[in-house]
Amino acid sequence: MSLFSIILMLHIAAGFTALTVFWIPLVTKKGGRAHRKIGWVYVWAMYTVAGSALFMGLYRLFIDQERTSAEQAFSFFLLFIAVLSAATAWMGIRVLRFKRRTDAHRNLYDLGISGLLVIMSLDTMVVGWMDDFALLKFFPILGLVLGSGQLSYWLTPPKTKMHWYFEHYGNLIGCSIATITAFVVFGAPRLLNISSVSIWLWFLPAAVLTPLIYSFNFYYRRKFNLPRVKKSAS
């Protein structure tokens, strides 16, 4: 068995794990034992998805180059999924570490990963327009929105005391969009033994889960009746 096949199997197993446990932290008690333990399973599964997608994307682009333009485009999509998964999973966890901050946050690792997501989103869109590939044209808008939001979050002082709460679940839900979309594009057609699925199905996970993020924001802002964060003395 080749190294690529092993990485592919690892990628599928990690993606299936993430898809299976994704809903558990959403419906269990926030901060409870199940939420934390299953949440870490999800995060590490997504890190594995990201690392394996990065390897496969780079392998297909730079080593196994005897492919059609469509297959090369899908390889670039794998790279984008890798960055999107890693950046959103990282952000979802890092905000917990700095939830008590009151000033701008300028850690180079955090800013660099968020900045990479923005750059990769723009690059992927450029490739999509050059190759006239709809998925690469429009899906990276999600990464652009999430990456820009991450940079804005880090570079500005928090406006509410529960700022980290919204960033935590917002980014981890965004992370799941990458996994579900990749499954719809790659996994489902192979499991169902069909050549391809409608382009509209490619965007269905983002269309369903993005409003969920905004719904949660609305619900928890009203629930917490959030006060403003006092500015620190200069």
Report yes or no on 126 lying in a domain: yes
Give the SS3 label for residue 4: helix
Q: What confidence tier does 233 reach under pLDDT thresholds 50, 70, 90? A: very low
CA 192 to chain centre: 25
What's 198's DSSP letter?
-
The whole model's pTM is what?
A: 0.83
Residues present in the chain in total? 234
Report yes or no on 132 lying in a domain: yes
Report yes or no on 167 lying in a domain: yes
Chain segment 12-56, per-residue pLDDT in tens: 899 889 988 988 988 888 889 999 999 999 999 999 999 998 998
In this predicted structure, the answer to whether residue 163 has a pLDDT above a threshold of 70 is yes
In this predicted structure, the answer to whether residue 150 has a pLDDT above a threshold of 90 is yes
Report yes or no on 97 lying in a domain: yes
CA 196/CA 198 separation, integer angstroms: 7
- Owning domain of residue 152: 3-224
Domain count, the chain: 1
Report yes or no on 96 lying in a domain: yes
Report yes or no on 231 lying in a domain: no
